[in-house]
Amino acid sequence: MTDLQLSTSPTGPSGTASTSAATSSGTRSPLQPKPRPRRTVRRGLRHAVMILASIVMIYPLLWMVVSSLRPNDEIFRNPSLFPISLDFSNYARGWESLAQPFSHYLINSTLLVLGCVIGNLIACSLTAYAFARLRFWGRNIAFAIMLMTLMLPIHVVIVPQYIMFSQTGWVNTMLPLILPKFLATDAFFVFLMVQFIRGIPRELDEAARIDGCGHFRIFFQVILPLMLPALATTTIFTFMWMWNDFFGSLIYLTSPENFTVPLALKSFLDTQGSSDWGAMFAMSVVSLIPLFLVFLFGQRFLIKGFATTGIK
């Protein structure tokens, strides 16, 4: 189809419409040597656009990494990536410049992410199995409600939630952020898993049932092992979202020793004003490294996750 497009263009080498139709069905090279260079030019142009776009997209990130290894005053003088210096003093200074060493906030964030991942894996998979495989009263209505909660702004529940958790004394702990995950409130993952379970052949369930398995055994021994890719996607997305979580953490985690990484960076910005950008960049880079690693090794699942929830 590409060669037809080339040969029917007004200045194309093939001239009449009849020959262009012929070229589309036949092979191009022996009789039609000319389209080749044009095609190469076009292809080259496309790559040039792509490379330019890639540079624009990635340059700020590279520049931040390079700048975090430079002395402070150079950050405001040198927009280029070179010369690359390897001065780690920003990292040493940034690590110690808050009330706690930065590792403390990394551990807090890790605990938060861990709790949320476990909660989402358990609660969302149970719910998804029910939606995908069980026939119970009100299932379609419940499913529609679940899809609607996907679109509900959290702001409309956050004030009463805060009041509720302040009465149970959980404000300034991670419980208000973790507990909802154990109650399958992340509808996105429930939906993702429902989609996945629907794709597993029902014959497998039937076979297990004939062998005398109940729903819990079918779920744990047949479905759960088969839905590992969906569980991996859930793990990765939960990790990414909770590692970045800001609104909820800002509201619930009030004292500095409970701060997660995003809150630590924010308080860094508050205390340093705009003076020590080197240290701030350094800690920002540290905070992005786990995300980057997950991206590097989990990309397959991330993209698949989008594909399965995005389209039919």
Footprint (CB under 8 A) of other proteins, residues 121-140: 122-123, 126-127, 129-130, 134-137, 139-140
Distance in angstroms (rounded) separating the CA atoms of residues 115 and 110: 9
The answer to whether residue 48 forms part of the interface with other proteins (CB under 8 A) is: no
Q: Segment contacting other proteins (CB under 8 A): 33-41, 105-113, 183-191, 220-228?
A: 183-191
Which residue among 30, 82, 144, 225 contacts other proteins (CB under 8 A)? 144
Is 222 or 251 the residue whose CB approaches other proteins more closely?
A: 251
Distance in angstroms (rounded) separating the CA atoms of residues 45 and 51: 10
Burial of 255 (0-12, 13-18, 19+ CB in 10 A): exposed
The answer to whether residue 280 forms part of the interface with other proteins (CB under 8 A) is: yes
- Identify which of 78, 66, 55, 97 has the alpha carbon closest to the alpha carbon of residue 264: 97
Is 138 or 201 the residue whose CB approaches other proteins more closely?
A: 138
Q: Segment contacting other proteins (CB under 8 A): 28-36, 91-99, 226-234, 236-244?
A: 236-244
The answer to whether residue 271 forms part of the interface with other proteins (CB under 8 A) is: no
- Identify which of 45, 93, 41 has the alpha carbon closest to the alpha carbon of residue 69: 93
The answer to whether residue 274 forms part of the interface with other proteins (CB under 8 A) is: yes
Rounded to a whole number, what is the largest CA-CA distance in the chain?
A: 82
Q: Segment contacting other proteins (CB under 8 A): 28-36, 84-92, 157-165, 222-230?
A: 157-165
| Main-chain dihedrals φ then ψ at residue 279, nearest 5 degrees | -65, -35
Distance in angstroms (rounded) separating the CA atoms of residues 25 and 3: 10
Which residue among 13, 21, 100, 175 contacts other proteins (CB under 8 A)? 21
Q: Segment contacting other proteins (CB under 8 A): 90-98, 100-108, 211-219, 223-231?
A: 211-219
Q: Segment contacting other proteins (CB under 8 A): 33-41, 98-106, 120-128, 222-230?
A: 120-128
Spatial contact of 304 and 229, defined as CB atoms under 8 Å apart? yes
Any alpha helices (H) in the chain, and if so which ranges? Answer: 2-8, 17-25, 35-67, 72-75, 89-96, 102-133, 139-149, 155-167, 175-178, 187-198, 202-210, 215-217, 224-226, 228-244, 247-252, 261-272, 277-310
Which residue among 40, 103, 166, 271 contacts other proteins (CB under 8 A)? 166
Give the per-residue contact string, 74-113, with other proteins (x = CB under 8 A; - = no): -xxxxx----------------------------------
Is 57 or 86 the residue whose CB approaches other proteins more closely?
A: 57
Cα end-to-end distance, the chain, whole Å: 27
